[in-house]
Amino acid sequence: MHALLTFLVLAVTAAFAKNIVVLSDSNFDSVIGKGRPAFVKFYGESCYYCKQMAPEFKRLNNMNQTPYIIAEVNSSENPALSARYNIQGVPTLILFSASSTRPLDFYPGDRTAPAMMQYLKAHQ
């Protein structure tokens, strides 16, 4: 019975979870600046701080009730994007407007879901 209850809780949670938009060199310009603002995380798979931040970024995505697209770019797999935005270290978080691929701001705050949400709400 306990296993069934656990399964049902996980299934319901998964059904309501939103996916983080995965961006790459090939799809970035078709998503960013095309009508919705975006908050984009540049990360590396082997980066300790990126791994630490990943659950908070997922939490931010799931609690997001702003117009912002929550997205991420694997910097190692997308070197052209990393060079384009002069990514010197990861994780790097960039805010984009709804109408441009030019960064509005580089997020300077705490890497917690509540802090990032507060930042997004302040920049609506």
pLDDT digits (tens, 9 = 90+) for 42-87: 999 999 999 999 999 999 999 999 999 999 999 999 999 999 999 9
Whether residue 116 is contained in a domain is answered as yes
Identity of the residue numbered 79? P
Residue 17 pLDDT greater than 90, yes or no: no
More confident site: 10 or 38: 38
Report which of 67, 52, 107 is spatially closest to residue 85, judged by C-alpha positions: 107
Specify the number of domains making up the chain: 1
- Using CA atoms, how far apart are residues 2 and 60, in angstroms rounded to an integer? 29
Whether residue 84 is contained in a domain is answered as yes
pLDDT at 18: 81
Range of the domain at 89: 19-122
Whether residue 10 is contained in a domain is answered as no
CATH number at residue 105: 3.40.30.10
Whether residue 118 is contained in a domain is answered as yes
pLDDT at 9: 39
Q: Strand, coil or helix: what is 23?
A: strand
Whether residue 114 is contained in a domain is answered as yes
Whether residue 4 is contained in a domain is answered as no
Whether residue 1 is contained in a domain is answered as no
